[in-house]
């Protein structure tokens, strides 16, 4: 079973789920024991395939840290916090979390785009 650790202890994902915003990007950092990396990727793949079928899902991508470490980063784009909240709190999804290796720790957090003139669009 994956353990949760807040990326921002001042405003953890549980508080973010109550906000009405969108579109949003979920950034999720994973750490795992080196010998359980394949199991982490398989568990994540199963979750990703389930999430892809949920309303409001747009896309996702998993990344591995450069080098010999065993840190991974996932980002997923959702139409809204409400859509992500419905999928994340779904009992079927919550049950799937037991498939992660026991050493897995995840730090999920939601973000919105920021408009920066002459650089980034909102």
Mean pLDDT of the chain: 96
Q: Band the pLDDT of 87: cuts 50, 70, 90.
A: very high
Q: Tell me, what's the pLDDT at 74?
A: 97
Residues in Cβ contact with 47 at an 8 Å cutoff, skipping those fewer than 6 apart = 93, 96
Task: Note the Cα 85 to chain centre separation in Å.
Answer: 12
pTM score of the predicted model: 0.92
Q: What is the CATH number of domain 3-112?
A: 3.30.70.100
Cα(92)–Cα(99) distance, integer angstroms: 12
The mean per-residue pLDDT over the stretch 13-23 comes to 96
């Amino acid at each position: 079973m994956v353990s949760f650790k807040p990326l921002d202890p001042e405003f953890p994902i549980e508080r973010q789920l109550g906000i009405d915003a969108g579109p949003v990007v979920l950034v999720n950092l994973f750490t795992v024991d080196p010998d359980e990396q394949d199991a982490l990727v398989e568990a994540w793949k199963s979750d990703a395939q389930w999430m892809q079928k949920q309303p409001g899902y747009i896309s996702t991508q998993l990344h591995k840290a450069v080098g010999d470490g065993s840190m991974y980063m996932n980002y997923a784009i959702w139409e809204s916090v409400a859509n992500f909240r419905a999928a994340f709190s779904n009992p079927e999804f919550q049950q799937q979390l037991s498939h992660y290796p026991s050493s897995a720790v995840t730090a999920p957090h939601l973000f919105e785009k920021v408009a920066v003139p002459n650089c980034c669009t909102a």
